[in-house]
Chain A
Amino acid sequence: MKYQPSLPSRNDNVSDEHPLKDFLSILVRLAALALFAFFLLGLLVDTVVDRMDASTEASLTRLLAAKAPEVAAAPGRGNAREAQLQALVDSLRSCARSTGPATVRLTESKVPNAVVLPGGNIYVFSALLEHVQSENGLAFVLAHEMAHLSHRDHLRALGRGIVLYGLAALLSGDTSALASVLAPVRQLGDANYSRTREAAADARALQVLACRYGHAGGATEFFEALDDGKDDVIPGSHYFASHPAMRARIAALRAEIARQRMRTADVVPLVVSK
């Protein structure tokens, strides 16, 4: 046998296609699948939350209340202010037809904001008190947060968080890295969803305000204060990220006031405890 030196004309062991093609096609297919699963499971969370009976909600609330972060009350005058806020929330209870617990906690912060955490906790950031002039304005914001509680929006957010975390763990086999990668994606995906939840909470708060004071004065006070241009963008405030744009919200509230022919009368000035 004669040795005839030659090299093969082509290499069949390595595929010719661009390396990015394989990578991107799998990535896109997986992402589409994950988004679809997130959408479906999100609907499932909504269904479960909507159908949950009061006793289940109450036991969940008790379970989660123990986990809510304890914040140091604002020093000195904090306790008096917190009691004042709590009294206002309690006075809104019958109008809001709220049955579960609603505990107000005041925290020191430069961001004018208020959030609801599981367990019936309403956290009011101290800067919010500087952005409202009247008791009515403050009552609207508190009623908005109470509406989140009675709409069970905190449970929906919790459920969606668990779904996202589960999907991330399923895809990566690891919960740490991918979940943080998906966090911004979730914010984008959830923005539209939470806008509808915020609009619903606004509408409910308007009813509560009108019921408590007999008129709808002060409903747009807080948003107008934020919209006056002084605070362009306040990062971290949920009144900006996922809430409808300030002007759109003010317009929606005014339209609703006009549609329901609500009165607007003088507001009760707010005297913040010193």
Chain B
Amino acid sequence: MEALFPFLPLLVWVVPIVLGFVFGQINDKRHYRSIHAREQAWLHLPVTASRYPLLPGKVARSELVGGSVVVSVDYFKRAAAGLRSIVGGPVKSYESLLDRAKREAVLRLKESCPGAHEIVNLRLETASLSKNARGGIGAVEVFAFATAIYMVEPGAA
């Protein structure tokens, strides 16, 4: 038993990575399931980055809408990105984090204006929380903002 003592520091390193991997994968899958279902449900509401509406007709009202989300990275992804930062190259472990954050922010934006007929002028901003501070929590904020359009007679030519 005592022979294992020298390996305790190794355990301190391995355990958070394994925990991060397990919980991170579960969380990733669960979030993607939710994103896919809600994107399908909100497919009827068009969102564009264009300055002009796609839909024909007169605009009755427009308003500024926003949706923001803060997502943290798990320990495994951070360790993988840390290793990646030594050798360089695409940081694949952060891809799903940012993809989920952007799609979630747009979904929240849509959910904030259920009666709108179209959303134009979509913009996305990202902010990294705690930046590069040592021991920082390594989370990202994505803020989506746009103009929601309400038509006088939707669908009228």
Contact = CB atoms under 8 A, between A and B. Distances in A.
Q: Specify the main secondary structure of chain B where it touches its partner.
A: helix
A73 interface: no
Contact of B54 (A3, A7, A181, A187): A3
Interface string B1-13: 0110111011011
Size category, B interface: 20 to 34
Nearest to B53: A3
A19 interface: yes
Interface stretch (B78-86, B136-144, B145-153): B78-86
A26 interface: yes
Given A19-B77, A20-B21, A183 B6 contact: yes
A19 B86 contact: no
A27 interface: yes
Contacts of A1: 54
B95 A22 contact: no
Interface string A183-198: 1110100000000000
Contacts of B126: none
B128 interface: no
Interface string B35-48: 00001100110100
Interface string B76-98: 11011001101100101101101
Interface-centre pick from A23, A185, A233 (highest chain B CB count, 10 A): A23
Contacts, number: 69
Contact of B6 (A11, A14, A184, A233): A184
Contacts of A7: 39-40, 43
A171 B98 CA distance: 27
A75 interface: no
Interface in B18-49: 21, 25, 39-40, 43-44, 46
Contact of B99 (A3, A5, A11, A177): A11
B43 A6 contact: yes
A25 to B, nearest CB: 9
A91 interface: no
A15 interface: yes
B80 A23 contact: yes
Contacts of B55: 3
Nearest to B45: A5
B46 A5 contact: yes
A23 B99 contact: no
A26 to B, nearest CB: 4
A23 B2 contact: no
A181 B76 contact: no
Contact of B86 (A5, A14, A171): A171
Contacts of B92: 15, 17, 19, 22
Nearest to B98: A13
B2 A233 contact: yes
Contacts of A17: 92
A26 B54 contact: no
A21 to B, nearest CB: 9
A13 B99 contact: yes
Contacts of A6: 43
Contacts of A98: none
